[in-house]
Chains A and B, each alone.
Chain A
């Protein structure tokens, strides 16, 4: 009865109104032999006990604020979240509201999403943004759906760079297994030294979409302008999977000519949370807006002449178009879109530039110091933002284990996804890493 506000007397009165004798009598339609199973679950805890139990379990983890110095990124990043972000998220008016189907009493959610859409399009240099996806990987898979719909199934090839996040590539494969697509480029044993031009020769008249990452999974910054021109010359669309923190500093994908820009907005005000929930963003050109999955908020006026906002272009969606909908997506990440909007608003243009610059400066300091250690070095020559590949004298797994024994969460072991990269660690450095932490990492590796 933990959260049920009905007294026994009220219950009895209500049963009488319904016309049944007991609560159990409400379930006569349920097959008798399966009715009221005995559930083998632990007995109920009180709030006090539950709080202690959950705290116990949480404290048996080693976290990256209290126990471990972290240089792990690879798609999830340890950034500072200003206090104001969670204060706004904890407003019950935001977090206990539903999808804004009734706009007259949902303007808070609607305007917040409208502003989130605006922030994301300005950041990526695109025209339109939807109200968000589950995460960066599923947003990328939905870009494939958009391209498939755009060409009505007449083009069936996608070209994926092998330096798109490995888990994103897996999700694309899971999503598209019913479409009968041809894939090219996604070969982990490909020459990883070459730049985006290696993909150009794979693009042909049957290619519907080219997918690249920016900075790529190895942290390298490529200008994709030429690749996009070549892809457009063949009639193909191009999707860039971008890191939002890097976009604060770097040339926007819109300026490069991208057709779709997606990515993971977790770095913008969302905790690591052991991998989720995160926030997939999805932006594109206005011409593709009718093919885009997910919720969209548009501006309008109410019958009193006030500026207001509504969910719009809903005819694309599953509750109207059913099996012919652009996708089955029904939800968005509303609360996390709010988190990211509050994050961007609170840091503002200048604060965001400071975050990006700190990430860049500290990562480059770390890369410089690490590459001075005997046997270590930077594996790639291209410019990078806040993540880089460190070549190690021993297998990455051994190096990381040694670091962990010394209280350091090392980088991502690239041999897990690229068989040729046995001695390669992807190191991420953010504004959260002090010079002392970086120096400690260098010292520990020197002693190894």
Chain B
């Protein structure tokens, strides 16, 4: 096959080529700093604007995206992101406001943040919300810090254990690890719920709390959720909800009402902030009454009440026992909060419930279509995602082979090998923004692949074969470790 690789931006460079230029200086000239403070070389590329545009256009054509097709990546909630968000977040009033401006000059931003705090409280049933955390995992870390601070403030110093189900996202134990706590893994029972017996055995006065994703990463709503929370609370622990799977709960149930004490919101999943090749995300955190005083600073509050003629004055407030600051400035305002605010404003209470209901309908529909062809280890009504086993009796085909073959059919694969408790896991999350035809075509492809696995296994072993790139040598990447590129060695001599 002819080579289609795109040279790097360094290889495309040519000495003396120019892109966008800057205006000439309009002030009298000042001498530069002493030479020993100046750099001797600046090994950066030189290109014309058209070179840059064609380079990145070529790269964009190597990407699969939600805008180009179905992206059923379990636990990542890759829904379609409305285009209006892209316009609202770029309004000059948002783009060109500095985070340290006096509050009187940014009341529009502060009002938006205040309302967003209130809306997230209402949607989740929590008493307080911080918008500061920059991503879901950052929100988790925020939550765990607050849980630790809460116990410490009560003089309860022997709590060092966090209970985490075996189906949990890897970020949960990693967040706990960052604080030096230990993890106690709680297994799931045969219906995909937390095993109550095992939980009971682990609950004692050394428990900080439990981090639970509900619905969990098997796609199951825990049927004993109230009992689980009661048991954790009974031993003095706090209940953390991993909000990665909030999408199917909107307008269905509020985690705060169930008794969760703290939870993060992945705005980029549930509230349509595009993931952008991995980020930026945004991870606000909601808390129940016991943790309100520990929220990171600053929060947006009303610093002067309004009246009939005057809007209230919004400003920043610091909770009494705040754990501190999680990042510089206030959070992912422009690229996160404005998009999510737009999205929530356009849905209202009924629209939010629609999102959850159709996300769950689509997942159950796909599950029903695949039942019989693929083994579904926890087979009951699922929430917004479900897990199938990507393996067949008497065949050496693995989940990864099925995923790669799906690319030949024009689909992005599901999540592979997660959760860890299902062998050869294929974790499928269609989201509410897919139509029936797409789901039918995807199910047909998976059924066809199951047949191919028996009749022509090499098709799967060698997949993908229709994409621009084939399977990568990941061992070579890790062993030889080439992590950056440079200008060619004889660059300065080139003309």
Known: A39-B123, A46-B346. Is A63-B100 also a contact (CB below 8 A)? no
* Residue B289 CB within 8 A of the other chain: no
Q: How far is the CB of B66 from chain A (nearest CB, A)?
A: 4
| 176-198 of chain B: CB within 8 A of chain A | 176-183
* Residue A189 CB within 8 A of the other chain: no
The interface centre, meaning the residue of B36, B277, B345, B360 with most chain A CB atoms within 10 A of its CB, is: B277
* Residue A152 CB within 8 A of the other chain: no
Query: Are the CB atoms of B336 and A63 closer together than 8 Å?
Result: no
Write out the residue numbers on chain A whose beta carbons fall within 8 Å of the beta carbon of B220: 29
The interface centre, meaning the residue of B76, B109, B432 with most chain A CB atoms within 10 A of its CB, is: B109
A93: contacting residue among B9, B61, B347, B434, CB under 8 A:
B61
Query: Are the CB atoms of B141 and A328 closer together than 8 Å?
Result: yes
Write out the residue numbers on chain B whose beta carbons fall within 8 Å of the beta carbon of A137: 325, 327-328
B332: contacting residue among A27, A63, A171, A277, CB under 8 A:
A277
Known: A41-B348, A277-B335. Is A171-B327 also a contact (CB below 8 A)? yes
Write out the residue numbers on chain B whose beta carbons fall within 8 Å of the beta carbon of A134: 134-135, 138, 280, 327
| 41-68 of chain A: CB within 8 A of chain B | 41-47, 50-51, 53-68
* Residue A186 CB within 8 A of the other chain: no
A362: contacting residue among B27, B37, B276, B335, CB under 8 A:
B27
Write out the residue numbers on chain B whose beta carbons fall within 8 Å of the beta carbon of A394: none
Known: A41-B349, A145-B178, A348-B46. Is A273-B106 also a contact (CB below 8 A)? no
| 77-102 of chain A: CB within 8 A of chain B | 78, 80, 82, 84, 86-88, 90-102
B6: contacting residue among A27, A111, A323, CB under 8 A:
A111
CA distance A66 to B341 in the complex (A): 24
Query: Are the CB atoms of A349 and B30 closer together than 8 Å?
Result: no
A31: contacting residue among B28, B57, B253, B433, CB under 8 A:
B253
B333: contacting residue among A27, A62, A275, A347, CB under 8 A:
A275
Give per-residue flags for B282-314: 1 if the beta carbon is below 8 A from chain A beta carbons, else 0.
100000000000001000000000000000000
Known: A5-B434, A93-B63, A350-B46. Is A328-B171 also a contact (CB below 8 A)? yes
Give per-residue flags for B144-165: 1 if the beta carbon is below 8 A from chain A beta carbons, else 0.
0100100000000000000000
Query: Are the CB atoms of B20 and A82 closer together than 8 Å?
Result: yes
CA distance A108 to B6 in the complex (A): 10
Q: Which residue of chain A has the shortest Cβ distance to B148 in the bound complex?
A: A178
Query: Are the CB atoms of B338 and A18 closer together than 8 Å?
Result: no
Query: Are the CB atoms of B345 and A50 closer together than 8 Å?
Result: yes
Query: Are the CB atoms of A346 and B52 closer together than 8 Å?
Result: yes
Known: A57-B112, A289-B483. Is A135-B183 also a contact (CB below 8 A)? no
Query: Are the CB atoms of A68 and B39 closer together than 8 Å?
Result: no
Segment touching B, from A192-200, A201-209, A313-321: A313-321
Query: Are the CB atoms of A51 and B45 closer together than 8 Å?
Result: no
Q: Which residue of chain B has the shortest Cβ distance to A74 in the bound complex?
A: B100
Query: Are the CB atoms of A26 and B350 closer together than 8 Å?
Result: no
Known: A54-B342, A96-B67, A296-B483. Is A37-B334 also a contact (CB below 8 A)? no
Write out the residue numbers on chain A whose beta carbons fall within 8 Å of the beta carbon of B352: 39, 41
CA distance A319 to B32 in the complex (A): 49
Query: Are the CB atoms of A350 and B18 closer together than 8 Å?
Result: yes
B53: contacting residue among A87, A322, A434, CB under 8 A:
A87
Query: Are the CB atoms of A61 and B351 closer together than 8 Å?
Result: no
Q: How far is the CB of B2 from chain A (nearest CB, A)?
A: 10
Query: Are the CB atoms of A272 and B96 closer together than 8 Å?
Result: yes
CA distance A273 to B99 in the complex (A): 8
Query: Are the CB atoms of B358 and A345 closer together than 8 Å?
Result: no
Write out the residue numbers on chain B whose beta carbons fall within 8 Å of the beta carbon of A258: none
Write out the residue numbers on chain A whose beta carbons fall within 8 Å of the beta carbon of B52: 84, 342, 345-346
Segment touching A, from B83-91, B199-207, B231-239, B447-455: B83-91
Known: A114-B484, A115-B8, A277-B332. Is A3-B80 also a contact (CB below 8 A)? yes
CA distance A361 to B30 in the complex (A): 6
Q: Which residue of chain B has the shortest Cβ distance to A247 in the bound complex?
A: B39
Q: How far is the CB of B244 from chain A (nearest CB, A)?
A: 10
Size bin of chain B's contact surface: 35 or more
Write out the residue numbers on chain B whose beta carbons fall within 8 Å of the beta carbon of A119: 9, 44-45
Give per-residue flags for A209-230: 1 if the beta carbon is below 8 A from chain B beta carbons, else 0.
0000000000001010000000
Q: Which residue of chain A has the shortest Cβ distance to B473 in the bound complex?
A: A300
Segment touching B, from A231-239, A351-359, A373-381: A351-359
Query: Are the CB atoms of B258 and A26 closer together than 8 Å?
Result: no
Q: How far is the CB of B112 from chain A (nearest CB, A)?
A: 6
Q: Which residue of chain A has the shortest Cβ distance to B476 in the bound complex?
A: A300
Write out the residue numbers on chain A whose beta carbons fall within 8 Å of the beta carbon of B494: none
B37: contacting residue among A55, A96, A383, CB under 8 A:
A383
Known: A91-B60, A250-B37, A383-B33. Is A61-B325 also a contact (CB below 8 A)? no
Query: Are the CB atoms of B134 and A128 closer together than 8 Å?
Result: no
Known: A221-B33, A362-B27. Is A72-B358 also a contact (CB below 8 A)? no
Size bin of chain A's contact surface: 35 or more
| 425-474 of chain B: CB within 8 A of chain A | 432-436, 462, 464, 467-474
Q: Which residue of chain A has the shortest Cβ distance to B348 in the bound complex?
A: A44
Query: Are the CB atoms of B275 and A404 closer together than 8 Å?
Result: no
CA distance A38 to B436 in the complex (A): 29
Query: Are the CB atoms of A303 and B30 closer together than 8 Å?
Result: no
Write out the residue numbers on chain B whose beta carbons fall within 8 Å of the beta carbon of A26: 357, 360-361, 364, 381
Query: Are the CB atoms of A251 and B471 closer together than 8 Å?
Result: no
A323: contacting residue among B9, B101, B174, B323, CB under 8 A:
B174
Write out the residue numbers on chain A whose beta carbons fall within 8 Å of the beta carbon of B6: 111
Query: Are the CB atoms of A362 and B345 closer together than 8 Å?
Result: no
Write out the residue numbers on chain A whose beta carbons fall within 8 Å of the beta carbon of B481: 286, 289, 298, 312-313
Query: Are the CB atoms of A313 and B96 closer together than 8 Å?
Result: no
Known: A255-B39, A303-B471, A322-B177. Is A104-B434 also a contact (CB below 8 A)? no
CA distance A67 to B92 in the complex (A): 11
Q: Which residue of chain B has the shortest Cβ distance to A315 in the bound complex?
A: B478
* Residue A368 CB within 8 A of the other chain: yes
Known: A93-B65, A277-B335, A351-B22. Is A331-B8 also a contact (CB below 8 A)? no
Write out the residue numbers on chain A whose beta carbons fall within 8 Å of the beta carbon of B324: 170-171, 173-174, 177
Q: How far is the CB of A270 from chain B (nearest CB, A)?
A: 9
Q: How far is the CB of A78 from chain B (nearest CB, A)?
A: 7
Query: Are the CB atoms of B62 and A96 closer together than 8 Å?
Result: no
Q: How far is the CB of A12 from chain B (nearest CB, A)?
A: 11
Query: Are the CB atoms of B47 and A348 closer together than 8 Å?
Result: yes
Query: Are the CB atoms of A345 and B45 closer together than 8 Å?
Result: yes
A355: contacting residue among B22, B94, B105, B472, CB under 8 A:
B22
Query: Are the CB atoms of B91 and A308 closer together than 8 Å?
Result: no
CA distance A14 to B435 in the complex (A): 11
CA distance A44 to B354 in the complex (A): 12
Query: Are the CB atoms of A58 and B92 closer together than 8 Å?
Result: yes
* Residue A6 CB within 8 A of the other chain: yes
A118: contacting residue among B10, B141, B221, B469, CB under 8 A:
B10
Query: Are the CB atoms of B330 and A275 closer together than 8 Å?
Result: yes
Query: Are the CB atoms of A331 and B56 closer together than 8 Å?
Result: no
Q: How far is the CB of A201 from chain B (nearest CB, A)?
A: 24
A104: contacting residue among B30, B354, B470, CB under 8 A:
B470
**Shortest Cβ-Cβ A-B pairs, 9 listed:** A335-B276, A58-B93, A275-B329, A275-B99, A273-B334, A92-B67, A334-B277, A44-B348, A174-B324
A sample of 7 more A-B contacts (CB under 8 A), given A95-B275, A277-B282, is: A108-B61, A171-B326, A276-B134, A302-B471, A302-B472, A347-B20, A351-B20
Provide 21 A-B residue pairs closer than 8 Å at the C-beta atoms, listed in order of the A residue: A4-B354, A14-B361, A14-B365, A17-B365, A20-B381, A29-B381, A40-B122, A60-B108, A61-B94, A62-B101, A64-B97, A84-B49, A96-B81, A104-B472, A105-B412, A114-B483, A122-B44, A295-B278, A319-B170, A329-B135, A351-B18
